[in-house]
């Protein structure tokens, strides 16, 4: 009986180690994604003085303020993907992309800092409040945003827009690309408003 136990215990240990190795070997690695600025644009060069824009505030909803990419699975239902994540903080990513897009689209000098020097020289102050930013069960990427542009003379423009782009409910690279296109559309609308107000 003792001999059987001595044989069984090492065998059991080997089985556990083998099982752990199998489980560990089949776990896929996480994929990381980033939103990118509009690539097809050429930076406009010239001697004309560019307006200074302070990108003062970018807010995103708490439900997407996390490393995992969030998708809607039904009414009042969302899921987080542990294997598909943002490569950097989503609010920082959106803020950086908006700044790069406005720099090229307006074109403008875009600042993040609101120090007294910059604030005194700034022509516009822009804040954006994103209300929705996800892919829904109908395979549509959705971005809903409110924004405010304040001109140096005190004039304020408030706007709210929604953007939808066909996406996927399973392919995260397609999801991110569609969300990126929504952000591109928001960038273009902001740039158009800034150009109109600068006249």
Q: What is the pTM of this model?
A: 0.84
| pLDDT, tens digit (0-9, with 9 covering 90-100), for 97-107 | 999 999 999 99
| pLDDT, tens digit (0-9, with 9 covering 90-100), for 7-27 | 444 444 545 545 444 455 578
For the cut 50, the answer to whether the pLDDT of residue 91 exceeds it is: yes
More confident residue, 144 or 47: 144
Q: How far apart are CA 25 and CA 21, in angstroms?
A: 6
Strands 156-166 and 77-86 turn out to be unpaired
- Helix H segments across the chain? 2-26, 90-105, 116-121, 172-198
Task: Please name the residues in contact with 125: beta carbons below 8 A apart, sequence gap of 6 or more.
Answer: 53, 54, 56, 114, 149, 150
Q: What is the DSSP letter of 167?
A: -
* Structural domain containing residue 88: 2-198
Q: Residue 122 maps to which CATH number?
A: 3.40.50.10610
Residue-level pLDDT at 48: 73
Share of the chain above pLDDT 90, in %: 74
Per the structure block, which two tokens stand in for 107?
């074109």
Q: Of all helices (H) and strands (E), which one includes residue 85?
A: strand 77-86
Q: What is the DSSP letter of 62?
A: G
Q: How many domains does the chain have?
A: 1
**Range 148-161 average pLDDT:** 96
């Amino acid at each position: 009986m003792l001999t059987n136990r001595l044989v069984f215990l090492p065998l059991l240990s080997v089985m556990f180690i083998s099982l752990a190795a199998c489980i560990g070997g089949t776990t896929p690695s996480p994929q990381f994604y980033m939103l990118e600025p509009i690539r097809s644009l050429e930076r406009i060069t010239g001697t004309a003085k560019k307006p200074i824009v302070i990108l003062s505030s970018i807010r995103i909803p708490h439900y997407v303020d996390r490393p995992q990419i969030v998708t809607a699975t039904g009414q009042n239902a969302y899921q987080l993907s542990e294997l598909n994540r943002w490569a950097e903080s989503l609010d920082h990513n959106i803020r950086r992309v908006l700044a790069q897009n406005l720099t090229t689209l307006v074109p403008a000098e875009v600042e993040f800092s609101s120090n007294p020097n910059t604030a005194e020289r700034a022509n516009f102050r822009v804040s954006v409040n994103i209300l929705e930013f996800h892919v829904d069960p109908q395979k549509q990427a959705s971005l809903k945003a409110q924004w405010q542009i304040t001109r140096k003379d005190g004039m304020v423009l408030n706007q709210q827009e929604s953007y939808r782009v066909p996406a996927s409910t399973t392919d995260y690279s397609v999801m991110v690309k569609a969300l990126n296109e929504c952000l591109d559309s928001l960038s273009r609308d902001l740039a158009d408003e800034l150009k109109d107000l600068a006249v």
